[in-house]
Amino acid sequence: MSRHPLQESMDGVWVVVPAFNEAAVIHGVLRSVLAHFSSVVVVDDCSKDTTGQVSRAAGAVVLRHPINLGQGAALQTGIDYALAQGADAVVTFDADGQHDPADAVAMVTLLREARCDVVLGSRFRGATVNMPRRKRLLLKLAIAYTRLTTGLDLSDTHNGLRVFSAQAAGRIRITQDRMAHASEILAQVARQHLSYREAPCTVSYTSHSKAKGQRLTGSVTILRDLMIRRLY
Amino acid sequence: MAIAAVIAVGLFLTLFPAALQALADRLGVGRGVDLMFYIVILAAFLAVVNLHVRMRVLQDSLRDLARAQALRDPKLPLEEASADGRTTS
């Protein structure tokens, strides 16, 4: 496999992939990411399948949570590791194959050219493949919620593809262990006045990613988690 | 401490039920037993909230502990993968 021309400049970038029971698809996902990036860390959130072994065989560093903590906690573990390795930028990338590594490369390039703290992937500026209509409605509600609570003018607020400069990654602290971390990250971006850009990205919906994705009941749980966090 | 206080109050009210009735009359509650019922409901609610907060705090410490263990033992890529030049370290 020939190296991507931008490969050299992607050295020093760490890709964080939170994963839970993704053995069926994660090998292909990691191979495509490793074609562009040399440093990938998979945070295996105590999967019951062989996600960890498959990821190591594919060429990624694997950190395994001894108990299942949730995607938010897995992201923070991966970010901690990346920063300890001296990463100069951190990419968060979903394990289910919904993202395109080429978009991540473009986002890192934008982060450097625009000298901003955070680049957020947006499927509504980019493209979606086979997005269910109900999913679109749910995401639009989430975007409205984010605008209301943080004042951020974003076109896609719950996208797993993000790029942080090392400095920004160090200032963000995810305490929402489960799925409410997406809202929490944006709240911290707003509160700390981090500079951000949105970049178009493609999100592909497969039967696998749809089965693992969030449902309406999930967003109720997210709202509850966000409310509880304000109480103490 | 809290349990000792509950036992003491319970003993007192058992020995002097009139005291409870006097308090109920003062608060506009019909019977002393009804007043006790309301107090117990309130106390139970506060206990649940208290336990919930403690559980969340405990969960946060557990998370930090699990994360520390994961970070202390990173599994590096297996040999087959690094053989084609894609080493990470």
Task: Report residue A214 CA to chain centroid gap.
Answer: 14
Burial class (CB in 10 A: 0-12, 13-18, 19+), A35: middle
Closest chain A C-alpha to B45 CA, distance in angstroms: 16
Contact call for A65 and B86, based on CB within 8 A: no
Place B86 in a pLDDT band, splitting at 50, 70 and 90. Answer: very low
C-alpha atoms less than 13 angstroms from C-alpha of B12 in its C-beta half-sphere: 9
Residue of B nearest to A12 (CA): B88
Q: Which fold does the domain A9-229 belong to in CATH?
A: Spore Coat Polysaccharide Biosynthesis Protein SpsA; Chain A (3.90.550)
ipTM of the complex: 0.86
- Give the chain B residue nearest A230 (alpha carbons): B53
Low-confidence ranges of chain A (pLDDT < 70): 1-8, 213-216, 232
Taking the CB of residue A179, how many other CB atoms lie within 10 A of it? 17
CA distance B54 to chain A (A): 10
Kindly state the average pLDDT of the residues B7-23.
91
In a 3-state reduction of DSSP, which class is residue A200? strand
**pLDDT in the model for residue A215:** 67
Mark yes or no for CB contact B77/A65 under 8 Å: no
Q: What is the pLDDT of residue A226?
A: 87
pLDDT tens sequence across A33-56: 999 999 999 999 999 999 999 999
Would you place residue B81 in the very low, low, confident or very high pLDDT band (cuts 50, 70, 90)?
very low
| Contact map slice: B 10-69 vs A, CB within 8 A | 53, 56-57, 59-60, 62-63, 66-67, 69
Contacts of B46 in chain A (CB under 8 A): none
**pLDDT value at residue B89:** 42
Of B62, B77, B84, the CB nearest to A56: B77
Q: What pLDDT is stored for residue B63 in this prediction?
A: 97
Measured on CA atoms in the order A112, A27, A203, A92, is the torsion positive or negative? negative
Contact B88/A175, CB-based, under 8 Å? Answer: no
Query: DSSP labels for A78-116?
Result: HHHHHHHTT-SEEEE--TTS-S-HHHHHHHHHHHHHHT-
Q: Is A196 helix (H, G, I), strand (E, B) or coil?
A: strand
